[in-house]
Structure 1
Amino acid sequence: MLKAHVVFATITGHNEDVADIVTEGLEGLGVQTIETEISQTDPEEFKDVDICVVCAYTYNEGHLPEEGLDFYEDLQKLDLSKQTYGVAGSGDTFYKNYYNVAVDKFDHAFQLTNAKHGAANVKINLEPDAKDIKTLDNFSKQLVNVAKKNK
């Protein structure tokens, strides 16, 4: 059985919603999944699962969540070559060029770990709607398909 860990950082609750949708999607596909808040999580925990997911917000003009800075730094130092990863996030298009850049930054951090990119990054404007839920369900399916091939 595949195992997954979904980590989120949120202020508004939207990224926790994104994480909940991904977690439910993975569980619906038979993946044993845990979900934790970023400040309560050690990136080393990703070594114990097949699928790693980060759902984080972008603060102000392109900054990472302050409570996730240590996680972000430590993540980049890991060898996750046996893991599959995905990154999703809710942001606000009001910030234009800075819209959801935390998604891109976490994607880059995962690239440094040699983890296998399992699904296209997902960027959601504000609260996930019905269309976003479909997108996140497809995101979960893609992660599972790649993780199965990666095993």
Structure 2
Amino acid sequence: MARALIIFGSTTGNTENTAERIGGILSAKGLEVTVENVSDVTLGNESDYDLVLYGCSTWGEDEIELQDDFIDYYEAMDKAALSGKKVGVFGCGDSAYTYFCGAVDAIEEKVRQIGGKLVAEGLKIDGEPDDYEAEIDAWAEQVAAA
């Protein structure tokens, strides 16, 4: 059975709820899923999984600011076991900001730099995830099929 690790950083709960929803869909597709808060993750454990998904909200209007708990992990991501690994990125943000869901873009770029293989275009959620259930579900289905 394929194993998936979903790592999220969430301040308001939106990204955490999205991570749980994606995890439920992946589980229904037959994957063994672990959902972890980024503050509880040990770098290098990614090697135990076939698929790694990152969820991070974006803050800041004038520059890209990753969710607070995600910053340390992001800065050390070159030590993550992602070379050749299937990876996907999702996040919540506000399209009124200059860098709408810029954390998704930043994490995707880091994944590319360290040799991860992005399996889907990053999922960017504008505001409340409850308003984007169909999009979240479709993205999760695409990731599960990868």
In the superposition, the TM-score normalised over structure 2's length comes to: 0.90
Aligned residue for 2:72, secondary structure, equals helix
Note the residue ranges of structure 1 that are not aligned, 5 or more in a row. 147-151
Give the 5 Å matches for 1:2-151: 2-61=2-61, 62-95=64-97, 97-129=98-130, 132-146=132-146
The 8 Å contact of residues 77 and 112 in structure 1, kept in 2 or not, is answered as: no
After superposition, give the CA deviation of every residue in 1:47-71 in whole Å (9 maximum; x if it has no partner). Answer: 1101101110112231112322221
Q: How far did 1:16 drift? A: 0.7
Cα distance in 2 for partners of 1:112, 1:77 equals: 12
Q: Is the 8 A contact 1:8 1:19 kept in 2?
A: yes
Deviation at 1:78, TM superposition (A): 3.5
Tell me by how many angstroms 1:91 deviates.
0.7
Shift of 1:79: 4.5
- Structure 2 gaps of 5+ residues are none
Name the counterpart of 1:149. none
Question: What is the total number of aligned residue pairs between the two structures?
Answer: 144
Provide the aligned C-alpha RMSD in A: 1.5
Flag as ranges the 4+ runs of structure 1 deviating above 3 A. Answer: none
Check whether the contact 1:6–1:19 (CA below 8 A) recurs between aligned residues.
yes
CA distance in 1, matches of 2:51, 2:139: 12
Opposite residue 93 of structure 1, the aligned amino acid is S
**Deviation at 1:138?**
2.1
For residues 17 and 103 of structure 1, what CA distance do their matches in structure 2 show?
17
Partner SS for 1:143? helix
Task: Report the Cα distance in structure 1 between the residues aligned to 2:10 and 2:100, rounded to whole angstroms.
Answer: 15
